[in-house]
Structure 1
Amino acid sequence: MEPFPPFKSERVSRRRYERERRGRQEAERILEHLSRELYEANAALKAQAASLEETVRHRTEELRAAKVAAETASDAKSAFLAMISHEIRTPLNGVLGMATVLAETELDAVQMDMAEVILTSGNGLLALLNDVLDLSKIEARQMEIEEIGFDLANLMAEQRRIFELRAAEKGLSFRMSGQAGLPSYIQGDPNRLRQVVSNLLSNAMKFTAKGGVHLDVSLDQWLLTVAVTDTGPGVPETKRHKLFKPFSQTDASITRQYGGTGLGLAISRQVCRLMGGDLVFRPARGGGSVFTATMRLSPPNVGAAPVDLGHCPFQKVLGARRWRILVAEDSETNRKVVELLLKPFDLDIRMVFDGAQAVEQHLARPFDLILMDVNMPVMNGLAAASLIRQEEERIGAERVPIIALTANAMTHQVSDYLRQGIDAHVAKPVRREDLARAMALQLCEQTRALMQG
């Protein structure tokens, strides 16, 4: 048989080849198209990534600049408040100090009324200044809560005595319950606790025209609860959301009728929360208001003595002997104020005008206690305190108590003083009782040693 004609096989192979070639060309075309699309998508993605990176970098720079601006503004605000506080407190120290002493002299009824108006107005200005500073500390997260031992029963008894007198002057009744179960020694911040209780009682007295005020105190598992109930007009439900807002009153007419800035409750609530509690409101039955503050306290440290004057009153301490007191103060007015405020106590007081003189006088013949202004010419109070501490360490002498007597009252300023050799701080304007208490706290141990000896 003859073989199959070769030309037919070649035609079949050629057609198969052409189909395969066209298939490869189509596949290459599709692959090239997809590669180009992938390349273009990748290029677009890179462009988007670069744009996003630039946007993020630009936004980061904006945020960094905004952070720096905010920090600068905060620092400027703190510096401004510190400056304003100092500049207001300095002349106010002279006004209140002299008015206090003036009211203790022999005055007729009209003159006494004038002196009391000066004192009331000055104390109102001081309270406003303190509230503004406290609010600024809270906003800057700089308010510090101390943890020291104190006599809780004595602190609440002190508040009862103060507000019993105020209630009697206004013709109101005042009642306190729960005091019998309070411990004489506990850990916490007595100054902030006193601030909250005093604010709640002051508000209750202010807004109560008839009836009375009831203070109830209890301590359970170291949580202190202070409830203040009054028979005043109460707070309408539609106004209660304003109670704890700074510079806010439940009624615009309240400011005109009663005075005040609306800062007290806002500050008190923040203090309570910093102390692990809260401050809440509820209406009292039959009308009136109930403000309940809770604050977390701690059990006393074993073997530690309370930093409190309940068993060591300042009259007793300052009268234990004729203490030698050195006062370093460059202002003549402030020197007169300190001298007159301490006049009721039999003290040996020496005055110097700057820190260099304070160091010289103390090293020549050591004093029992030094009252040191901070801002003074020649040598400031902190430099003087540092030199005194260095000399004490060098010769092994006992540490003399140094109290900063200054118009600088910002938290960071006081903390800085305590790190630089200062033992305590009393802010101007100086009240006699505050100064005497601070001095007595520093001299209390020496007084106990004298009495035991």
Structure 2
Amino acid sequence: MKKLSNKVSLEFFIFVLSVLIVVVIAFSLSLSHSARDEYTRYLEIKKQNVYKWFAELRNEYKQLYEVYIETGIVDDDIDLLIELEGDGRVNIVKNLIGVGFDEIASLVQSGSKVVLLNSEPVYLMVFETPNKQAIIGSIFDGELIGSLSKYLGEDATVFISYNDHYIVPQEFIQTGIYVRSVIQQSKEATSRPFVVSQPRGILSIFGWGQVYLTDSVDIAGVKVFVLQSETLLVQLVNRLIPIMFLIVVGVVFFSLVFSWSLNRYISTALDSILSGFTSIRDGSFERVKFKSNDELGKISMELNKTMEFIEMTLEKLRKSNELLRKATAEARQASRMKSEFLANMSHEMRTPMNAILGFTELLLSEETNEEKRKHLVTIYRSGEHLLSLINDVLDLSKIESGKMQIYEEIYSPRNLLKELVETYLPMAYSKGLHLAYSLDNNVPEYVVGDAFRIKQILTNLVSNGIKFTSQGYITIQANYKEGKITYIVNDTGIGIPEEKLDKIFEPFTQLDRTMSRKYGGMGLGLAITKKLVDLMNGKLYIESHIGKGTKVVVSLPTKLPSKEEIEKVINKKEDTNKVVLIAGKDKNFFENIASLLSRYNIKHRTTLNISMLPLLCKEAKYMLVIVDLDRISENDLSILDTVKKSETPVVLVAKDARENIEGFEVLTRPISEKKLIEIISRYLKEDLYPVHEFSSKEILVVEDNKANQVLIKKMLEKVGFKVDVAGNGKEALEKIKEKTYSLIIMDMQMPVMDGYTATRKIREKGLKVPVIALTAHTLRGDEAKSLEAGCDGYLGKPVKQKELIDAIVYFLRIQEELETTRFEPVQTPDQKTGKAEEKIGEPPKNPRNDIEKRIQELSTNMGLTLEEAREMFEEYENYLRESIMQLKELSLKEDFEAIDREGHSLKGSGKMYSVVEVSEIGVKLQNAAKAKKKDKILQLISELEKLIDQIWGSDQNS
């Protein structure tokens, strides 16, 4: 039986044979290494012989000099002999080298060594006798070095290097080794001695050339290179190489034969097995036909069994998939129904809440009985609490269903925290808690993020802090580092047990059952907070200690806006510091002042806690504080001195002007509405008008819910508006045909025709009437959807009376401003007789005829002399022509956002300079830029050019 293990044994045999080859090679190398060590010792002996040869050479020349002294005969081997007498005389006996007298002194100083004289290397020796010194020199030529080479023996050779001069004997030349090659290798060698070999031909693959172990000796001022031949080592290697080569060839051939046989067998088996896997992939499940008793055969058998199992499983899967498809379809249907249910529940639950809260608010404004007012306040607060719970459930459902979206916008962290603290200050002070916020210097003034959701996160954390803290403080800190803004909320509350920190983020979870009864809530706040932080790719960390408090850290990735984006936000930013704080202890005083401020659409807040007045003025920047002085006790008078140091102006209301209250403006009772409004106008720096100035305006309320129809109608009629009601969009369009309305309140979810469709049809007819969207849906995208349909504003249900009136007054004032500043054309005689028509807003036929009137209006409006006004009017022409150039450049770039800003600038400047036609073109430019209509923009630029030429061109040419 042919087992796979036999094949492995064969491979093992090949492996053993290979190891044997390695051992032979290792033995050869070891032998070679031992031989080299022996040659190294020979080389050291040769180096010692070099020193010995130089010593003998010196002795030989000394003997020749002694012979000269005795006989007076100079030997032929001496090329230079100079004697220096004790009295300073110099006797040149023999000078074959041509040494001059001026060189003799330096030769004496150089001592015994090889020097270069007249381009000849000369071995100089200085001998001392009792009466004189002798300098003997011999030319160091190849013949002399040849004697050194012979002195060292036949297995060695030498050459001498001296100042880039080389003395090479014949024996070295015969080796075929280059002197410079030896010098180069000597410099590069990392150890001594080093190996130098004869150059070999390309075809000399079965043997080595002559190899020399090389080292150098420094003596007599020269470097003597000694080359020790390794003849025996070379012979050994040359014999081993052919043997090793034959062994390797034999083993490779032997391995190839057996490898081919093994490969053929395994390839056949694997091809068969792979064909089985291929049949599984294409679903044919053809069985593997390869049979064998070894491991590959067993694999084939198991694969066939696996195919049978897969076929059975696939059949079961086909049946399961059919059931799964049905279940998936049902799940998708359920998901769609859930989404629709969420939208409908949002609408259906908020619609009755709108009626409950709205009518309660109306009743509160009319009820004078104190006990009934308490009941109404309880109903109102309970309704707001229920609305908050509905919002939490809907938010959680939207997040879990994936419907929650994050909208990035530019916001100010400072303003966000300021508004948050202002909102929760009364709640905190009512419990005697300190609530404050701080920002590190590194926090940018503006960042990009979802301000609405971030405020929701911090609101949950702050409200929890106030709820679970009985004494101490709640603080909010913000810092910015490496593209992340971090908000830290600290409180000194009851704390959370460590083992329950993970559970508090689960929906409908509180620490224990008593928490819900004691503190209220459903346990959704932190669950929503955690999910919102995750949705923003942020991190939430909580640290708490029982009885000491809790620290929550929210870190969110944040982008920074560009300078252009920041400027755009600043330009659009509304003044939020237009709130009046009413302080006192008399509810009638609150109601009277609040009623008066509401008539003028002035935002206001109230506080009964006079002692907290300095802190309130410090924490929140109020435009003005009105204090009921008559109800303040004598002990509280000292508080006014602290308030006096605040930057917030304070007006005191008293029965009579008190002389001892210095530094405050005092209003005496009965309060003069005119006087109070004058004071507020002065601090607000703008004129104020009562809301009832719009009482003649007619408003159309489009709402399908009868309760809401009655509620909104009552709210508006109470203020003085005339109100008509339509049950759906179709009825609204019919009423618009019959009557002109100043403003429309449009519910967006209605039967027959919804508010989106009705608003689009209104805009298609060219009507400019303001439309305020009113919807119970709370998804963030609904606002954008309403504005895209043509609405001017957006309010969510349940809407409060003040919010509704504020919105209506805001848009009515804008509409009135546009109408009053619209240019009224001068009538020609034909127009007076009705022979011709001219559209409102078109420039007069000859604007030049009206230029003096415009300058007069500019002078009157701006408080200038006629000359100053005329100069400014002419400068305005330059500004307009520069604007035209800028607009042309922007239109080429199709920078519609910048064109919108330029149009806004023209709209404002035209009114100021009494050229209302420019304002109208500015408005049209804004509309065209928002619609991205380049052709319309170019047409308006051309109209602006013509208008400028008509007004200023003729003046310049006259």
Per the TM superposition, whether the score is higher than 0.5 is: yes
TM-score (norm 2): 0.39
Change (3 A) 1:410 1:282: same
Change (3 A) 1:84 1:302: closer
Q: Which amino acid letter does the alignment assign opposite residue 329 of structure 1?
A: E
* Cα shift readout 1:19-72 (whole Å, capped 9, x = no counterpart): xxxxxxxxxxxxx9959x999999866644433432343343343333222222
Change (3 A) 1:299 1:102: farther
Name the structure 1 match of 2:569: 305
Name the structure 2 match of 1:112: 373
Change (3 A) 1:268 1:193: same
Name the structure 2 match of 1:406: 775
Instruction: Give the secondary-structure state (helix, strand or coil) at the position aligned to 2:454.
Output: helix
Shift, 1:348, TM fit: 6.4
Q: Does 1:384 align with 2:758?
A: yes
Aligned pairs (5 A) from 1:82-161: 82-161=343-422
Q: Which amino acid letter does the alignment assign opposite residue 408 of structure 1?
A: H
Q: How many percent identity over aligned positions?
A: 33
Shift, 1:342, TM fit: 5.4
Which stretch shifts more, 121-130 or 49-58? 49-58
Q: Does 1:71 align with 2:445?
A: no
Q: Which amino acid letter does the alignment assign opposite residue 65 of structure 1?
A: K
Q: Which amino acid letter does the alignment assign opposite residue 710 of structure 2?
A: K
Aligned pairs (5 A) from 1:176-187: 176-178=437-439, 185-187=446-448
Q: Which amino acid letter does the alignment assign opposite residue 319 of structure 2?
A: H
Distance 1:410 1:61 in 2: 37
Distance 1:344 1:405 in 2: 20
Unpaired segments ≥5 residues, structure 2: 1-288, 580-600, 603-687, 822-907, 912-958
Unpaired segments ≥5 residues, structure 1: 1-31
Shift, 1:200, TM fit: 1.2
Given candidates 696, 704, 709, the residue that maps to 1:335 is 709
Shift, 1:212, TM fit: 2.2
Distance 2:734 2:809 in 1: 25
Shift, 1:262, TM fit: 0.7
Q: Which amino acid letter does the alignment assign opposite residue 431 of structure 2?
A: K
Contact 1:354 / 1:377 at 8 angstroms: preserved in 2?
yes
Given candidates 428, 431, 444, the residue that maps to 2:797 is 428
Instruction: Give the secondary-structure state (helix, strand or coil) at the position aligned to 1:305.
Output: helix
Contact 1:228 / 1:292 at 8 angstroms: preserved in 2?
yes
Distance 2:566 2:783 in 1: 28
Q: Does 1:353 align with 2:727?
A: yes
Distance 2:465 2:315 in 1: 59
Distance 2:354 2:731 in 1: 23
Q: Which amino acid letter does the alignment assign opposite residue 388 of structure 2?
A: A
Contact 1:149 / 1:188 at 8 angstroms: preserved in 2?
yes
* Cα shift readout 1:175-231 (whole Å, capped 9, x = no counterpart): 222288766644332221221222111111111112222222334455332222111
Q: Which amino acid letter does the alignment assign opposite residue 333 of structure 2?
A: T
Which stretch shifts more, 48-57 or 269-278? 48-57
Distance 2:716 2:478 in 1: 35
Name the structure 1 match of 2:36: none
Which stretch shifts more, 117-126 or 278-287? 278-287
Distance 1:295 1:440 in 2: 38
Name the structure 1 match of 2:510: 249
Distance 2:698 2:382 in 1: 34
Distance 2:441 2:716 in 1: 35
Distance 2:450 2:806 in 1: 16
Q: Does 1:374 align with 2:748?
A: yes
Name the structure 2 match of 1:26: none
Instruction: Give the secondary-structure state (helix, strand or coil) at the position aligned to 1:104.
Output: helix
Given candidates 453, 464, 486, the residue that maps to 1:192 is 453
Contact 1:229 / 1:284 at 8 angstroms: preserved in 2?
no
Name the structure 2 match of 1:11: none
Q: Which amino acid letter does the alignment assign opposite residue 382 of structure 1?
A: Y
Q: Which amino acid letter does the alignment assign opposite residue 80 of structure 1?
A: F
Contact 1:219 / 1:225 at 8 angstroms: preserved in 2?
yes
Q: Which amino acid letter does the alignment assign opposite residue 569 of structure 2?
A: A
Distance 2:470 2:808 in 1: 39
Name the structure 2 match of 1:265: 526
Change (3 A) 1:276 1:98: same
- Tell me the number of residue pairs that the alignment of Structure 1 and Structure 2 aligns: 416
Change (3 A) 1:420 1:116: same
Name the structure 1 match of 2:237: none
Change (3 A) 1:441 1:50: farther
Q: Which amino acid letter does the alignment assign opposite residue 542 of structure 2?
A: F
Name the structure 2 match of 1:4: none
Which stretch shifts more, 80-89 or 361-370? 361-370
Distance 2:780 2:543 in 1: 33
Distance 1:189 1:177 in 2: 20
* Cα shift readout 1:296-331 (whole Å, capped 9, x = no counterpart): 443332553366544596947997984765421133
Shift, 1:117, TM fit: 0.8
Name the structure 2 match of 1:214: 475
Name the structure 2 match of 1:3: none
Distance 1:360 1:179 in 2: 58
Change (3 A) 1:368 1:303: farther
Distance 2:408 2:737 in 1: 34
* Cα shift readout 1:344-386 (whole Å, capped 9, x = no counterpart): 8776655433212333445667656532113435433222122
Contact 2:494 / 2:547 at 8 angstroms: preserved in 1?
no
Which stretch shifts more, 402-411 or 165-174? 402-411
Distance 2:792 2:482 in 1: 32
Instruction: Give the secondary-structure state (helix, strand or coil) at the position aligned to 1:283.
Output: strand
Q: Which amino acid letter does the alignment assign opposite residue 304 of structure 1?
A: K
Distance 2:533 2:813 in 1: 30
Larger Rg, first or second structure (1 or 2): 2
Shift, 1:255, TM fit: 0.5
Given candidates 543, 551, 572, the residue that maps to 1:290 is 551
Change (3 A) 1:211 1:49: closer
Distance 2:443 2:715 in 1: 34
Which stretch shifts more, 369-378 or 226-235? 369-378
Distance 1:441 1:222 in 2: 38
Contact 2:446 / 2:566 at 8 angstroms: preserved in 1?
no
Distance 1:34 1:270 in 2: 60
Distance 1:198 1:121 in 2: 19
Shift, 1:129, TM fit: 0.7
Shift, 1:122, TM fit: 0.6
Aligned pairs (5 A) from 1:21-100: 47-100=308-361
Instruction: Give the secondary-structure state (helix, strand or coil) at the position aligned to 2:448.
Output: strand
Shift, 1:236, TM fit: 0.9
Which stretch shifts more, 64-73 or 443-452? 443-452
Distance 1:318 1:308 in 2: 22
Shift, 1:286, TM fit: 7.0
Change (3 A) 1:374 1:131: same
Instruction: Report the RMSD for the aligned CA atoms in angstroms.
Output: 4.0
